[in-house]
Structure 1
Amino acid sequence: MSAAVDFEPAGELKIGQVGIANLRIRTLDVSRLVEEMRGRVQRAPKLFARAAVVIDFGGLTRTPDEATARALIAGLHEAGVLPVALAYGTAETERLSEALGLPLLAKFRASYERDESGTAPEAAAPAPRREPEPVPKSAAKGAPPAAATPASNSAPGMIQSTPVRSGQQIYAENRDLTVLTTVGAGAEVISDGSVHIYGPLRGRALAGAQGNEQARIFCREFHAELVAIAGHYKVMEEIPKELRGKAVQVWLEDQQLKIAALD
């Protein structure tokens, strides 16, 4: 009898703000983790080559020893990414970070991730109370009706009226973001709510940056390098070719990122 094949990734990668990725270790298998990251770099070299990565051991029952952690860090370097910190979790993680000479990042994980019970970690700030915005008349083919998008009581949606150029980052904190023109290649737009782009999207768009899984991305002309909602992402190489250049919406459903054309 042949052995069952394990298709679950050993490490769950999520994209956060300022271009930092969080690699949460699910299975402490160094060679497997390194091969997964090498594959990610090969599929999207412009995105992941020399990318800053926070290593998160919170998905394990035990914190690895120093030798194993060093082997993982060396392997990730060899795969083409840069481990820059550990995600804070326990006192053992803190001691490990000191031994490795890496800083701890306490807020990164809590800013978008919920624990297995579905509740926000204690370190996470409570999500602001928000009002729903009108749903666009056009709906995605095969997509459910657009859910109400959180928008802050105190802050109106942010409007970007000039092009977002390569290397530029726009962040709408606790509100939606509307871009009236182009998001260029190498540019990044981030919102704690939804992102609406009325021109071509050639760079990256991240919605629900603080964990709002109801956030969406709407784009008139889709050529994205990356799109993400609440840390769940897809890169250009994973996006169906028939959607490129089309008007689309992006949403999260059952922890899976969905992309569909708008009528």
Structure 2
Amino acid sequence: MAAAKGDYEPAGELKIGQVGIANLRVRTLDVERLATEMRDRVARAPKLFARAAVVVDFGGLARTPDLATARTLLDGLREAGVLPVALAYGTSENDALAQQLGLPLLAKFRAQYEPAAGTPSAPAPAAKPAAREITAEAAPAKAAITANAPARAQHPGGEPGLVQLTPVRSGQQLYAENRDLSVLGTVGAGAEVIADGSIHVYGALRGRALAGAQGNEKARIFCREFHAELVAVAGHYKVLEDIPMELRGKPVQIWLDNEELRIAAFD
């Protein structure tokens, strides 16, 4: 039955929010190599990368690839186990290519997960991936604060830090924009905490923690009990499979040293 006149209730509610999307910044246009690298990532951490949404960023190339090459790359990525969903903003040629591929363009959607060699990148402005490249990860938009409204605190720089008083549960995402983040409880498996500054977790860290989201290489991650699925600082990342067994379940700190992600136990 047709809606009554004057009834403007939409059939579908559209909202724009923060989503977890990986950004693949193409540095060398070698389709076979790119697909192989992605296949390896999926094999190493299938819970994180299998069927992950990926934005393809051609901003690191001298020239935008032609339509046939781009299609071959997208097909290769799909066969590797991920789902290309958009191109990152770039030149007018990149815009035209996106239209030919039938894909949207995405600008900065979360954080920078993929540092390009020598030049910081943002998925047009987007991602700065990681100690291998993930741009994955991940990446934003505006902060989706968890359902439990967190309190604010002051961190040393005088900027307000974000304090989460309750656990961050599976499926929740917490983003501290332009500040540090402190979680007084645990970060559950499948949860994600992101900060443009450092991250402090006073309980167990089981989900994902992404510090220095806008490229701050001095940011650090601290936690009392390390079981993280993925950790990243300024785009450099490691997954749990990369972490020595002796560090699991221990208090650790994570930082960048000459663009290499370091993880060490502390008392």
Label 1:109 to 1:28 Cα distance change in 2 as closer, same or farther (>3 A): farther
- Determine the C-alpha separation between the residues in 2 that align with 1:64 and 1:82: 19
Which of 223, 226, 230 is the equivalent residue of 1:226? 230
Q: What is the alpha-carbon distance in structure 2 between the residues aligned to residue 215 and residue 22 of structure 1?
A: 21
How much has 1:113 moved relative to structure 2? 6.4
Counterpart code for 2:84: P
SS in 1 for 2:94: helix
**Would you say how many aligned residue pairs link Structure 1 and Structure 2?**
221
Shift of residue 19, structure 1, vs aligned partner: 2.0
Tell whether 2:185 aligns with 1:181.
yes
Paired residue type of 2:249: G
Compute the displacement of 1:61 (Å): 1.4
What's the C-alpha RMSD, in Å, of the aligned pairs?
Answer: 2.4
User: Is the aligned partner of 1:193 residue 2:200?
Assistant: no
Partner of 2:21: 20
CA shift, 1:106, in A, is 2.3
- The question of whether the paired residues in 2 share the 8 Å contact of 1:233 and 1:257 is answered with yes
Instruction: Tell me how far apart the structure 1 counterparts of residues 39 and 116 of structure 2 sit (CA, whole Å).
Output: 28
Structure 1 ranges of 4+ moved more than 6 A: 112-117
Gap regions ≥5 residues in structure 2: 1-17, 126-154
CA deviation string 1:212-251 (max 9, x = no partner) = 1111000110000000111111111111111101111001
Q: Is the 8 A contact 1:87 1:108 kept in 2?
A: no
Equivalent in the alignment of 1:250: 254
Judged with a 3 Å threshold, the aligned counterparts in structure 2 of structure 1 residues 196 and 57 are, in CA distance, closer, same or farther, namely same
Which blocks of at least 5 consecutive residues in structure 1 are unaligned?
A: 1-16, 125-150
- Give the whole-Å Cα distance in 2 for the aligned partners of 1:33 and 1:251: 27
Residue of structure 2 equivalent to 1:75? 76
Kindly state the Cα deviation for residue 112 of structure 1 after the two structures are TM-superposed: 6.3
Amino acid at match of 1:193: G
TM-score by length of 2: 0.76
Q: Quick one: higher RCO (CA 8 Å, sep 6+), 1 or 2?
A: 2
Counterpart residue type for residue 62 of structure 2: T
| Corresponding position of 1:53 | 54
Deviations 1:61-116 (A, max 9, x none): 11110011011111111111011111112111111111111111222498566777
Query: Shift of residue 154 of structure 1?
Result: 6.9
